Structure formats: structure tokens, C-alpha cells
Structure 1
Amino acid sequence: MPVQPRHPVPADAPADALGAPPADGAPVDHAAGLAHFNSLPFAAAEAAFLECCGSLRWAHRMAAHRPYPDLGALLAASDEAGYDLAAGDIAEALAAEPAPCLHHDAPRAAHLALRAAHAAYESRFGHTFVICLDAHGPSQHVDQVLAGIRVRMEHDVDEERAVTAEELRRLARRRIVELMTADRGRNEPL
């Protein structure tokens, strides 16, 4: 299960909503992170993009199309590159996704239920289950993942491939926003 972002952003949020301050009230300066990111050497930018989506083709394309004028353009480019991924690229991205996990204080039954659900999903579709949980708080993650797996187990392979690709695009968007805010308050490289 993906880690909840520090500043969740719905995948379909308009570009201007992405600059809204987080719940802690501190302003988010995407422009500074983006300027720094645009100036990174190609290999460093590509490696950072690989953390957002595990497809080398996607990461290479994203790094090659820099500089991005603003966060909205970067996210639009991410979506476009995501829609262009071939089945092999999606498989590569899925293989790079982290294994699902829960906080250690989650009940043992929750860990067991998630493991069983993930195993059933992987057996049916041949890859890890991915879901973007930006719209849900951490206390809802287990229920949302279990519900998502239950619903998606009813899909045929082609339908699930499309849903999985969309979830990967949403995760990439969220991770890009996190990447552009990662150096907030620091002068370190991203």
C-alpha cells in the first residue's frame, strides 16, 4: 500500500489547487522546487522521476522534456507520458512498486487480511495491486485497499489493466508534487 503523502493532492485537482497551503498552514512553494529540479543533471532528474514511476521509458521522457515552466505543465507531461506507456512499461513500473505495508500498530487481523487480499489479486492478475489513496485519511487506508481489491477482482484482465494504469498515473502525479515540495525549507538537492 503506498505511503500517504505529506500534503495529499487529488489526482484530478486543477493545477492552481496544487499550490494551496497544506493543513499546517505553511505555504507550499512549488516554483522553487521546480526551478531546482529543472537545473538537475539529466541522470539525477531521471533517477528522481524513477521514484515517481518505475518505468525507465517514462522517467527518461520526463527528464528529457525539462525545463517545465510550472507544476501544471509538469503534471500534464506526466499524464501524457503515462498514457503512452506500453504494456511492458506498465509491468516495469508495477515491478518497482513497493510491497504493501501497514503501520506496526495496525491489528494483526488487518495485516493478515491485506496479505490474503493482495495474494489473491496477484494470483489473478500477475502483478501487485496499486491504488492511490490521496482522498482518504490513514485510518481509512486498510478499508479502502480491501474494498478496492474486492471490486477490482471482478474486472476482466483488460479492464483491470486500464484501471491499474490510471492508478499508476495518479500515484506518479502525487509523487511529483511531493518531489517538488521535498526541499521546502532546505537548501539541499532534491
Structure 2
Amino acid sequence: MAGLEVLNSLPARAARAELLTCCASRRWADEVAAGRPYPGLPALRSASAVALAARDWAGIREALAAHPRLGDRPHHERPQGERPRGGDREAAWSRGEQSGADGAAAEVRAALAAGNRAYEERFGHVFLLCATGLGAAEMLAALRARLGNDTGTEQAVVRYELTRIVDLRLAKLLDVIGEANGRNA
């Protein structure tokens, strides 16, 4: 059974749990789970985008809480007490998405860390960037550029970046649960 068929057939609670690995907003997961069955990935992504657009800023901040700082260790590798929602799958996806920072020079990693702190002081939440395919220098340039945004502009950019990340993760989710179902068949 393909991953979308599996997601469509799961009980609501199980579907919600799977969706929360893509985005930590509980209301988003509830709405996307309630919209099943989906005929294809484009419909799932469309429902996801509508549900994200409907979130107030508190709902977006809830989603941001599961994301590690750019260039930082995923939450499950942090000291106890620093782990927001999001499990091993989300942490593994974050590592992969940010892998462009892995081999960065010490000064670039230090600049990312300083930029993250400045961003969090300015905007009150983690810097979010769809980092898939980007190198550390590109991530740093985006961080520095966005530090100049006003709050409203930055919130719009964060929503856009979150939608891009969730789109990628939805496709990954369908692959993972489809493969798991194939092993269990």
C-alpha cells in the first residue's frame, strides 16, 4: 500500500501523530488529518497550505518550537530540558535539511550561532529557513538579510519557509509510512 493510502486509512489519532512529524502545530495536524482522504500528494499539500495559512501567529510559533537552530544540533541531541515537541524522525529530517552546514568552517559556524542569537533577540523565535540544498554560506547570507526585515515582513517569510519545509516533509512522510507498510505486509 502506498504511503498516501496508508495515511488516508489510519485512525484519526494515528494520522495526527504522523502529521505532527511534519509540522508541530496541533491545529494544523488536526485539520489536515480531518481532510482525509486525499487523492494525491498535491491535494495533501494544498490542504496543508490552507491549514498553515489559517494559523494565527501563536500556531506558527508552536510549529517553530520543534525546529532546531540553523546549524545547531537537533533537539533530541540537546541537553535534557531543551527538547520541544518533535521526535526522532523530525530530528533526522532536520539534520538532513541542514546538512549543508555540517562541513562549514569554524568561523561560519560561529557566525551562524551569533546570527541565530541576534535573530531570536530581534524576533523572539528561531530563524526558519528551508535549508535543503543550501550551503552554510547561503544559510548565513539569508539569516543576515532577514535580520533587516520588519516584524510583519519576517512573519510572512517564516510562513512561506514553513510551508516549503512542510511540503518536503509530507512527501518524506508518505515514503516512510509506505515503506513501513510494505515491510509489515
Structure 2 length-normalised TM: 0.77
1:159 to 153, 160, 163: 153
1:120 alignment partner in structure 2: 118
Deviation >3 Å, runs of 4+: 102-106, 183-186
2:11 alignment partner in structure 1: 41
Instruction: Please give the residue correspondences for 1:131-170 in structure 2 after superposition, counting only pairs within 5 Å.
Output: 131-134=129-132, 136=133, 140-170=134-164
Distance in 1 of aligned mates of 2:119 and 2:150: 12
The alignment's C-alpha RMSD in Å is 1.9
Give the letter for the 1:112 counterpart: A
Task: Point out where structure 1 has 5 or more consecutive residues left out of the alignment.
Answer: 1-30
Pair 1:174–1:120, CA change in 2 (3 A): same
| Greater RCO, 1 or 2 (C-alpha within 8 Å, sep 6+) | 1
The structure with the largest helix share of the pair is: 2
Structure 1 length-normalised TM: 0.75
Pair 1:145–1:77, CA change in 2 (3 A): same
Q: What per-residue deviation string (whole Å, max 9, x for no partner) do you get for residues 114-163 of structure 1?
A: 111111111110000011134x3xxx421121111111111101110111
Deviation, structure 1 residue 76: 0.7
1:177 aligns with 2:171: yes
1:99 alignment partner in structure 2: 69
Deviation, structure 1 residue 182: 1.7
Deviation, structure 1 residue 164: 0.6
Q: What number of residue pairs does the alignment pair up?
A: 155
- The percentage of aligned residue pairs carrying the same residue is 40
Distance in 2 of aligned mates of 1:169 and 1:188: 30
2:77 alignment partner in structure 1: none
